Structure 1
Amino acid sequence: MRADGTVRRRAAQRRRDTPEILVTEKDMWVSTVHPRHGPHQVTLWFRWDGRAAWMCTGAASATARNVRVEPRVRLALPDTFDGVLLQGEAECFPDEDVPAAAAEAFAARFGGDPRAEEGACLCLCLCVVPKSVLAWRGTPEPRGRVVMGDGTRLGRGTAASHP
C-alpha cells in the first residue's frame, strides 16, 4: 500500500478487473484523427459486449467522418485514476446495417435506439475490437499495464509493460 492508500494490484488482478470496469462504465473518450484536419476527441456512450466497444454517433459528425478516412482510434475511460485505454480500428455500421443483437443491447442499456433518430442525426454505429488494452490504478502500477496486446488477452506469466 502506498501513502495515498492505493493498493498495488498484480497484472493478473488487473486482467480480471478490466472486463468488469468496461461493463459497468457508460462513457468513453473517443479519439480520432483526420489526415488534413488533425485530431478530434469526444465522449460517447458505449456498451462493452465482452469483445468489443459499441458506440453510436451522428453519421455526419467529425468522429464519423474521421473514422471513414482513418479507422484507427484510441478509447479511454473518463476515470484517470482507475484507467483503461483501448486501441483498435473502428468498423462503421450505418443504422440499417447494425447487427440486431448489438442494437437491442445498446438500446436496452441507454433507454432508446439511436437508429430511430430522425433528421440530421442519422446514426452511425462504431464497433471497436481492441488490439491493445492498458489498465492501471494510480501511480503504483507502472509495469504490467498492458492487459491485451496484438488483439490477444494476455495470460498468466506474460511480462508485458507499458510500451
Structure 2
Amino acid sequence: MSAAALLLAAVTAERLLELVIARRNTRKLLEHGAVEVAAGHYPLIVALHAFWLAGLWFYGMNNPVHLGWLALFALLQVLRVWVLVTLGSRWTTRIIVMEGETLVKAGPYRFLSHPNYCVVVGEIAVLPQCLGLPLFALVFTLLNGIVLWIRIRAENRALASV
C-alpha cells in the first residue's frame, strides 16, 4: 500500500470514528432537551466532505506524499483533537443548542469563536497539497467557504438565541 493510501485510510478511519462520536453526542444531547437548528444545510456538508475524501482517493492514492504539507496536516490533527476534547460530549457535526447552557470559553475557544471550522478549512486545503493536488485544494477550499458561510451564519444565529 502506498504512503498516500495509508494517509487516506487513516483520514477515512478518523472521519468515520468522528461520525460515530458525533451521532452518539447528538443523540444524548437531544435526549436531554437540546434541539437541532438549521438542519437544511447539513446534507451540503456531508456531500462536500464525502466528495472531497472520495476525490482524494481517486486522484491522490498513488501520489507521493509531500512531507512539509504532511507536517502541517499533522499539526491540524492536534488542533482538531484539542477542539474535540474541549467540547467533549457537546461536540457534534450538527448545530445543537440547549437552553440555559453557556458557551464553551476554554481551550481553543479562548482565542476563536469557531476553531473547529478553522481546522476544517486547513484540512480541506492542506490534505490535497500533501498529495500534490493544488487545484483540487483550491476548488474544495472555495466550495467549503460557501458551505461554511451558510453554516457559521446559522450557528451564530442559533447561539445568539440561547
TM-score greater than 0.5 by the shorter chain: no
Higher strand fraction (1 or 2): 1
Scaled by the length of structure 1, what TM-score is found? 0.25
Q: Which TM-score applies when normalising by structure 2?
A: 0.25
- Which of structures 1 and 2 has the larger relative contact order (alpha carbons within 8 angstroms, sep 6+)? 2
